[in-house]
Structure 1
């Protein structure tokens, strides 16, 4: 299995971690299981602090993940297994892996750097899809 597919699978797992972290932290502030099991008609109560940051981190992850996933799958489908694709996949995954706790803890400048690392990863995968470079 190509390494970029493994990193895509780990990124899927990371997406689940984002969902669980945001849901669990928000659930604690919104009224627990009773609120979650209800019909939730009306306005959803806002969350604050770490719960709010984890929700934002999750939304941000799911803004970039479809692009990363589509590019990795396009690279595999077209046989573009090269250094740019592999390096980009690593940058995306590890940038996103570090992003969640950093955003959850409220460290803004590091968070922005990690977001940039993951975007550079996406751009490398895109570049590797279109430019013939050294195979991995």
Structure 2
């Protein structure tokens, strides 16, 4: 199997999503200490800073959206539906998801929504390309 541009960018998306937990766990270690972070969660643990809570929510959102995007990329690859549009969509998705994470954690709502919509549009490009082949 050849690593097409679409699969390359999907790999970067997966890697980025896999690492999105790091900032909010570091915030927990800094705020609660390593021992409390590694222990079972307790109701008495102090809450994470607001930015870390948003980073955790952004990570969950990234996972939810990856569950839709990744299969479309893989199906497009399997049927040979790669095109300049799908390469651009894969690049757009990566950029949009990175931007979404950063601006969500930073608490910038309007830009967060725009980044989310760009990622959704990239997902729809793959769906469109596949459905157009029917």
TM-score, length basis structure 2: 0.87
CA root-mean-square deviation = 1.7
* 1:23 equivalent in alignment to 2:30: no
Alignment correspondent of 2:7? 5
Q: Does 1:64 align with 2:61?
A: no
Unaligned stretches of 5+ in structure 1? none
Question: Deviating runs (4+, > 3 A) in structure 1?
Answer: 41-46
Unaligned stretches of 5+ residues in structure 2: none
Contact 2:28–2:37 under 8 Å retained in 1: no
Partner of 2:121: 120
How many residues matched? 130
Asked whether the equivalents of residues 27 and 49 of structure 2 are also in contact (C-alpha less than 8 Å), the reply is: no
Q: Which residue in the other structure is 1:49 paired with?
A: 50
Q: Distance in 1 between the 2:44 and 2:95 partners?
A: 32
Could you tell me the TM-score, scaled by structure 1's length?
0.86
Q: For 1:119, what is the secondary structure of its paired residue? A: helix
